[in-house]
Amino acid sequence: MKPKVAKYDSIESEVFGDEAPGVSIRVLVGEEDGAPVYVLRMLEIAPGGNTPDHEHPWEHENYILSGEGEVTVAGETHLVGPGHVVFVPPGVRHQYRCAGDDTFVFLCGIPTASLRG
Amino acid sequence: MKPKVAKYDSIESEVFGDEAPGVSIRVLVGEEDGAPVYVLRMLEIAPGGNTPDHEHPWEHENYILSGEGEVTVAGETHLVGPGHVVFVPPGVRHQYRCAGDDTFVFLCGIPTASLRG
């Protein structure tokens, strides 16, 4: 397992499908790097875009980097921006939306595949 | 387990001991929040400060938020700043130093205690 030092924009960004309009994702540190317990991802949501309103048996740990967004978790909507932290526990319904004129960018950590409930 | 939405500076910052001069840490999401697999922490290193040059059997996943720093990992030193990602695999020697006139701030994820090797 090798150390990794990289600028985020040197890491490939993949576009989500139609269920997440305007959303792209980069795997900053993941299984391919040898990450033992969690995958560190960067999500970018363009103005007007959103992730699906959904739930799954694993958690999210988020840190907002730039832009403004709305996070709905367990039925409550929060306006968030740079410096906000969000914890979405396993099994809790959640959705992220860009709420400004700039791209809404945040980190999103999830368990590695073998640890996803 | 409850969702959490908070600004980072509403979360208590704790000063490290003498082995890490100028370093303080905030647990953004941790065991007390119910984090299943990893603890998301924010480290702040004041100008002139550094973490110890050390190793342990668990990994770090870092994202640099602000300031300039030097990260030495596996004997190689990298100059890093906002937008850099660092993965320190388990068992690899590493040290973080503030390399500028502003506080060097970065996220540092580690496994929860029960998953630390």
The secondary structure of A65-104, three-state, reads: EECCEEEEECCEEEEECCCEEEEECCCCCEEEEECCCCCE
Give domain status of residue B106, yes or no: yes
Q: What is the pTM of this model?
A: 0.98
Instruction: Report d(CA B85, CA B33) in Å as an integer.
Output: 25
Instruction: Report d(CA A78, CA B68) in Å as an integer.
Output: 31
| Predicted interface score ipTM higher than 0.90 | yes
Give pLDDT < 70 ranges for chain B: none
CATH value at residue B29: 2.60.120.10
Give domain status of residue B6, yes or no: no
- Contact between A95 and A29 under an 8 Å Cβ cutoff? The reply is no
String of b and e for A17-30 (b: at least 16 CB within 10 Å)?
Answer: eeebbbbbbbbbbb
User: Using the beta-carbon criterion (under 8 Å), do A80 and B36 form an inter-chain contact?
Assistant: no
Give domain status of residue B4, yes or no: no
Q: What is the pLDDT along chain A (117 residues), one digit of tens a residue?
A: 899 999 999 999 999 989 999 999 999 999 999 999 999 999 999 999 999 999 999 999 999 999 999 999 999 999 999 999 999 999 999 999 999 999 999 999 999 999 997
Give domain status of residue A72, yes or no: yes
Predicted local confidence at residue A6, as pLDDT: 98
Chain B contact probe: residue of A27, A60, A61 with most B CBs at under 10 A:
A61
3-state secondary structure B25-94: EEEEECHHHCCCCEEEEEEEECCCCECCCECCCCCEEEEEEECCEEEEECCEEEEECCCEEEEECCCCCE
Give domain status of residue A8, yes or no: no
Residue A33 CA from chain centroid, whole number:
18
Chain B residues inside the 8 Å CB shell of A92: 3
Predicted local confidence at residue A58, as pLDDT: 98
Q: Which of A85, A96, A100, A6 is CA-nearest to residue A43?
A: A96
Give me the domain span that covers residue B65. Answer: 13-116
CB-nearest to B85 from A4, A34, A89 is A4
The structural domain count of chain B equals 1
Give domain status of residue A1, yes or no: no
User: Using the beta-carbon criterion (under 8 Å), do B109 and A80 form an inter-chain contact?
Assistant: no
- Contact between A72 and A94 under an 8 Å Cβ cutoff? The reply is yes
**Beta strands A14-15; A76-80: pairing state:** unpaired
Q: Which of A5, A14, A77 is CA-nearest to residue B89?
A: A5
Give domain status of residue B7, yes or no: no
* Strand arrangement of the beta sheet that strand B60-66 belongs to: A4-7, B84-88, B60-66, B104-111, B38-45, B23-29, B14-15
Give domain status of residue B65, yes or no: yes
- Contact between A9 and B82 under an 8 Å Cβ cutoff? The reply is no
